[in-house]
Structure 1
Amino acid sequence: MGDKVEWEILRDNVVSAAAYSCVGVLLMILGFVAVDLVTPGKLRQQVWVDRNRNACILVASNTLAVAIIIVAAITASQGDLGEGLLYTLIYTVIGIFVMALGFILVDALSPGDLGEVLMDDRPHPAVWVSATVHVGAGLIIAASLL
């Protein structure tokens, strides 16, 4: 009987890992789309073709922040898969919205067009401000869950 319980636990853990992984990757893609919507130009082109460091830093910070929220939501779910997936989805979408709003607010408070500055080929220190807003928003939401 002990072997059966271990196999059931393993099966449940594999299902949970697969479900959270799928939802997590989809949410990270949604975060990428959100960054693309609030910045000028095509982000895929900026990152993978043009190798724009500013765009890469912004996307990386957003993806990291989304992952932080996902980890906190999974930790807070206390084992119920359906509830955990729902909480992960809700809190991460809130986080993505807050990060996009943070970008828009920093843009409004900054001289010039922040989106244009960040998408410029030349490295610009303003990208670190936006990146920090993204990671900070992710940490705040994560802390609210734990």
Structure 2
Amino acid sequence: MTAYALEQDYWRLLGEGVGAIILYAIVGLALMLIGFYAIDLTTPGRLRGLVTAGKPNAIIVTAAGLISMAFIVVIAIYTSGGALVEGLIASTVFGLIGIVAQVISVRVLEKAVGIHIGEAMHADTFTPASLVVAAAHFALGLVVAFAIF
């Protein structure tokens, strides 16, 4: 009969891992909320109301913004090399920089392309311009995330 024993530090390491997950989840959630409100502040109309009302273009743009923020947070966590405090700080700083870069760049792109995002966000039907704005959010999230490397 073989007896199985846990490593001496198993419970401590498990607790540290659970704590890290919780802390990163809190930072990630906070950054996504900040990112949502940054998009809301720079987009004509109340974004939350548009999403709640089921406006398809608002939903597409919001989803792309949140996914791009997740890229930034994930890469910041990955590059922290397991150092919890440094990883949390890096995730927060890079996330905030990413939010600012996204909002400014997407608005510049909208102007350059001639998209009137306010009209698209309020539309009851899908507008192709929302895909351009969503792609800008997505692409910029990737650019910022890989710049962290």
TM tier relative to shorter chain = over 0.9
Q: Give the TM-score normalised by the residue count of structure 1.
A: 0.92
Displacement of 1:57: 0.3
In the alignment, structure 1 segments of 5+ residues that lack a partner are none
Q: What CA RMSD, in Å, does the superposition of the two structures yield over aligned residues?
A: 1.5
CA distance in 1, matches of 2:117, 2:147: 29
Alignment of 1:1-146 (within 5 A): 3-48=7-52, 50-111=53-114, 113-146=116-149
TM-score, normalised on structure 2?
0.91
Unmatched 5+ residue regions in structure 2? none
Q: Work out the CA distance in 1 between the residues paired with 2:121 and 2:67.
A: 18
The residue identity in structure 1 corresponding to 2:45 is G
Deviation of 1:2 (Å): 5.4
CA contact (8 A) 2:50 2:121 kept: no
**Contact 1:38–1:115 under 8 Å retained in 2:** no
Structure ID, larger Rg:
2
Give the 3 Å change call, closer, same or farther, for CA 59–112 of structure 1 in structure 2. Answer: closer
